[in-house]
Copies of this chain bind each other. A is one copy, B any other.
Amino acid sequence: MIESTQNKQVKLWKKLKTKKGRQQENLYLVEGEHLVREAVEKLPERDIQNFILVEEYKDNVSNFPKEKIVWVGEKVAMELAETETTQGMFAVIEKKPAELPQTIHRPYLFLDAVQDPGNMGALIRTAAAAGFEGVVCGKGSVDPYNMKALRGSQGMHFNLGVYEGSLEEWILYFQNQGLKVFGTALDQEAEAYTSIAPASAPFALMVGNEGQGISSNLLELTDSNLYIPLADHVESLNVSIAAGILMFHLYDTR
């Protein structure tokens, strides 16, 4: 049982609370019983490097691979926690390589510079609920492995592919396979989303930054840009709500 917060292993785990640490180690940390149990259920065992647990879970983790469990004291758990009260259950998980998928079976959500971790989590959760295959975080987006974003995704993060990469590349990749890429915009040239019939073929939907929307150079690369007609005197919707409306309308899973 590790009791000291000065322990070398603890110091490495603590690094995973920062974006830089996660990039250097190619690992991320998830916190909380719900998220860790989701990871056990949904990820291949090799993807999880360690489980970090306080003693009280001793009789309650029979389905965790024993050799990967590290028991820690309360102080260490507090040190790793993001929230002020911690359940004392963590997992250290390998980040997947950011390679493009070989075949595309279902739609993808592209995120251009989405900056709020709560929005990032909600977008991932909603994309999974809509049956999307992946979420691609472009330049300027908050780290999807940010602990607040992971909490917001409610473990739905493990239900789809989460990628970080160049959206220019991803747009071209989709278009080269004959798949449509829809942007979202508030300008006059955009089309009302209701004019697009729901389809069961894969496509990509791109949403943008909370304040600025999608950058103009990306908007020029899409096949078409959509807008959601809003009531008078209303400027915009929250990005995760707008994306929810569009994903559930565009993708026909029936």
Contacts and interface: CB of A to CB of B under 8 A. Distances in A.
Contacts of A237: 125-126, 129, 244
Contact of A241 (B236, B241, B249): B241
Contacts of A142: none
Nearest to A122: B238
- How many copies of this chain are found per oligomer? 2
Contacts of A240: 238, 241
Contact residues of A: prevailing secondary structure: helix
Given A234-B159, A237-B244, A245-B244, A254 B126 contact: no
A133 B103 CA distance: 46
A253 interface: yes
Given A159-B234, A238-B240, A241-B241, 12 more contacts: A42-B233, A122-B238, A125-B237, A126-B241, A129-B228, A156-B234, A194-B254, A231-B253, A237-B244, A241-B244, A245-B248, A249-B249
B231 A159 contact: yes
Contact of A159 (B194, B233, B236): B233
Nearest to A156: B234
